[in-house]
Amino acid sequence: MYRDRGMNRPRGRGISGGFRDERRGGPRLGRGGGFKSKQPGSQLRPQRWDNLPPFRKDFYTPHNNVSNRSQHDVMNFRSRYEMTIRGNNVPHPVEDFEEANFPPYVMDNIRRQGFLTPTPIQSQGWPIALSGNDMVGIAKTGS
């Protein structure tokens, strides 16, 4: 009784046999706009990258305590934490979070988490990175 059921129907292609027409799913082969026209921003004109203003990567303003710190004090700090620094005009490290000049919402979260002082890599790394300079930092993580 069930052996001959549906033997003449196309398998896996539905009632239309795999073809769409206006009655069953709309137009095909370029008449419907396609995938690309439905993407956000597909109608935007190309950007002229050479006309963009230069991007300033220097987000660091040294705290007065950092600026006024003597070279001797900076060398002692770096020596105490076994830091090896290479490069020219390397910014002085920050010794506490207030010297990093973070916005109030960042400082609130730092205090809420209970951190007292930056780690040595943070102390030296933040001023370098926020100044827009490249750096490679290697530190003991405790893990």
Would you give the DSSP letter of residue 103? Answer: -
φ and ψ at residue 33, rounded to 5 degrees = 95, -35
Least confident of 16-20, 39-43, 45-49, 52-56: 16-20
DSSP conformation letters of 115-137 = --S--HHHHHHHHHHHTT-----
Measured distance CA(123)–CA(109) in Å, rounded: 18
Amino acid 55: pLDDT: 85
Measured distance CA(2)–CA(76) in Å, rounded: 90
Rounded average pLDDT over 47-58? 87
What amino acid is encoded at 119 in this protein?
T
Amino acid 39: pLDDT: 86
Amino acid 41: pLDDT: 85
Rounded average pLDDT over 121-135? 95
pLDDT confidence bin for 113, thresholds 50/70/90: very high
Amino acid 15: pLDDT: 60
pLDDT tens-place string over residues 60-94: 999 999 999 999 999 999 999 999 999 999 999 99
Measured distance CA(60)–CA(65) in Å, rounded: 14
107 C-beta neighbours (distance < 10 Å), count: 14
Q: What is residue 41's three-state secondary structure?
A: coil
Q: Which residue do the tokens 């059921």 mark?
A: 5
Amino acid 56: pLDDT: 84
pLDDT tens-place string over residues 20-44: 555 555 555 555 556 656 788 888 9
* Chain CA centroid to CA 67, Å: 30
